[in-house]
Amino acid sequence: MKIAIQGAGVVGPTLAFWLLRGGHEVTLIEQAPYFRAGGYVIDFWGLGYTIAERMGLIEAVRAHGYQVEEVRLVNERGARVGGFSADVFGRMTKGRFTSLPRGDLARIIFDAVQDKVETRFGDSVAAISDASDGVDVTLESGATRRFDLLVGADGLHSRVRSLLWGAQTAFERPMGFYVAAFRASGYPRRDENVYLSYAEPGRSIARFSMRNDETLFLFIFAAARLPGAEPHDDAGRKAALKAIFGASGWEAREILEALESADTELYFDRVSQIEVLHWSLGRTVLLGDAAACVSLLAGEGTGLGMTEAYVLAGELQRAAGDIPAALKAYEARLRPFLLKKQASARALASSFAPATGFGIWVRQAVTRLMVFPPVADFFMGRSLRDDFDLPDYEGR
């Protein structure tokens, strides 16, 4: 089949990988003029880890990964006030766990497919028209193409979804926070293999030291702190971060300076979930964040999106050309599981970026208890477990 995938994030190229293995012809359509390698460090385990193994990419993933030793919560002077040993992750996953920049993971997967697919950077689907024997796609560049299937893997603000399903507001559940992330070189303070995080009511900053003298930074803040309307360009976003964090303690001032001079992409978005009643319409199907974004709060959106890609490709293979049957099976297998993941992520929302000093204190106290392995295993075990049996489409 000829299959178009809109979105070359992590999930679109993962689907491309599995479709190529099934002998399909793939076109990737990516709005950005280049491959986007931004984002903060992600924890990678469970379903995503298994899929990367099945793709033969786990060695590369581990080579780019970091074995985090400690999650450290600090106060305004940088002194440790909470946190826990990251041993719990290795213990609960039997060592099948690593942490790596989202952009490195995306790059590893894209590199595995880029020579074998047609990639249209700087383009986007402008109109979709379903016919009985194909889906006609008009691109912004003006071209019109017919495909057997169109996949919207274009993220939280999916254009494919808005074109066919309707306006974003009908499907988006904002969680009340924003997230921003960037990468900079030469940041003078380094703590190898430690996630460092500093919180004030309704906002937090984190940093993670990487190889080659690079550092990743993450800001999280309550939507109510945004000084004006949501900014849509880099200048506006940087100004908003300055307004929100300019008077914060710890290394806020230095980190904002690093942001000012960084020449890498600033990722900046709402923390939201997406809930769409039916993931496919005719010959168009949604995947990853476009279909069922679990949000940053779930901590595993990338792995879950990769799972959706693997299952969609597998069901297309199994259905041997019966597209409606494949799309139905894909959704039936995954939707209940994703809905549960979303519900547990929502339950964590208030502890994620506590709104009060007391909330921050409670969080610090709880993480201090995690010095005891059984307590750590209890708290982390639930969020590390995936109640989903990954189908085996390759008859291994």
Q: Which is nearer to ligand FAD, 220 or 256 (CB)?
A: 220
113 binds ligand FAD (CB under 6 A): no
Burial of 21 (0-12, 13-18, 19+ CB in 10 A): middle
CB of 289 to ligand FAD, least distance (A): 4
CA-based radius of gyration for the chain: 21
296 binds ligand FAD (CB under 6 A): yes
User: Of residues 241-270, which lie at the interface with ligand FAD (CB under 6 A)?
Assistant: 265, 267
Choose which of 57, 175, 181, 240 interacts with ligand FAD (CB under 6 A).
181
User: Of residues 53-112, which lie at the interface with ligand FAD (CB under 6 A)?
Assistant: 102
User: Of residues 34-63, which lie at the interface with ligand FAD (CB under 6 A)?
Assistant: 36, 38-40
**Lookup: tokens for 201:** 């009511």
The string of DSSP letters for 327-344 reads HHHHHHHHHHHHHHHHHH
Q: Which is nearer to ligand FAD, 81 or 135 (CB)?
A: 135
What single letter denotes the amino acid at residue 97?
F
CB of 267 to ligand FAD, least distance (A): 4
Q: How many CB atoms lie within 10 A of CB 394?
A: 10
220 DSSP β-pair partners: 179, 204
155 binds ligand FAD (CB under 6 A): yes
Q: Which is nearer to ligand FAD, 29 or 370 (CB)?
A: 29
Q: Which is nearer to ligand FAD, 81 or 267 (CB)?
A: 267
What single letter denotes the amino acid at residue 365?
A
Cα–Cα distance measured from residue 116 to residue 103, given in angstroms and rounded to the nearest whole number = 20
Closest-CB residue for ligand FAD?
9
11 binds ligand FAD (CB under 6 A): yes
Do the beta carbons of residue 126 and residue 138 sit within 8 Å? yes
**Piece of 27-35, 77-85, 274-282, 361-369 that binds ligand FAD (CB under 6 A):** 27-35
CB of 118 to ligand FAD, least distance (A): 14
**Piece of 50-58, 63-71, 147-155, 274-282 that binds ligand FAD (CB under 6 A):** 147-155
Choose which of 83, 301, 314, 354 interacts with ligand FAD (CB under 6 A).
301
Residue 98: which of 41, 30, 138, 154 has the closest Cα?
41
List CB contacts of 343: < 8 A, sequence separation 6 or more: none
Cα–Cα distance measured from residue 376 to residue 70, given in angstroms and rounded to the nearest whole number = 13
**Piece of 5-13, 48-56, 226-234, 377-385 that binds ligand FAD (CB under 6 A):** 5-13
CA angle 322, 324, 328 (to 5 degrees): 120
Choose which of 1, 32, 222, 319 interacts with ligand FAD (CB under 6 A).
32
What single letter denotes the amino acid at residue 118?
E
CB of 306 to ligand FAD, least distance (A): 8
CB of 12 to ligand FAD, least distance (A): 6
29 binds ligand FAD (CB under 6 A): yes
Residue 70: which of 156, 176, 195 has the closest Cα?
195
Cα–Cα distance measured from residue 201 to residue 255, given in angstroms and rounded to the nearest whole number = 19
354 binds ligand FAD (CB under 6 A): no
Cα–Cα distance measured from residue 321 to residue 308, given in angstroms and rounded to the nearest whole number = 19
Do the beta carbons of residue 154 and residue 284 sit within 8 Å? no
Interior/surface letters 315-324, b for 16+ CB within 10 angstroms, e for the rest? bbbebeeebe
CB of 368 to ligand FAD, least distance (A): 26
Cα–Cα distance measured from residue 61 to residue 56, given in angstroms and rounded to the nearest whole number = 10
Choose which of 54, 159, 333, 335 interacts with ligand FAD (CB under 6 A).
159
Number of residues that bind ligand FAD (CB under 6 A): 31
Q: Which parts of this chain interact with ligand FAD (CB under 6 A)?
A: 6-12, 29-32, 36, 38-40, 102, 124, 153-155, 159, 179, 181, 265, 267, 288-289, 296, 301-302, 305
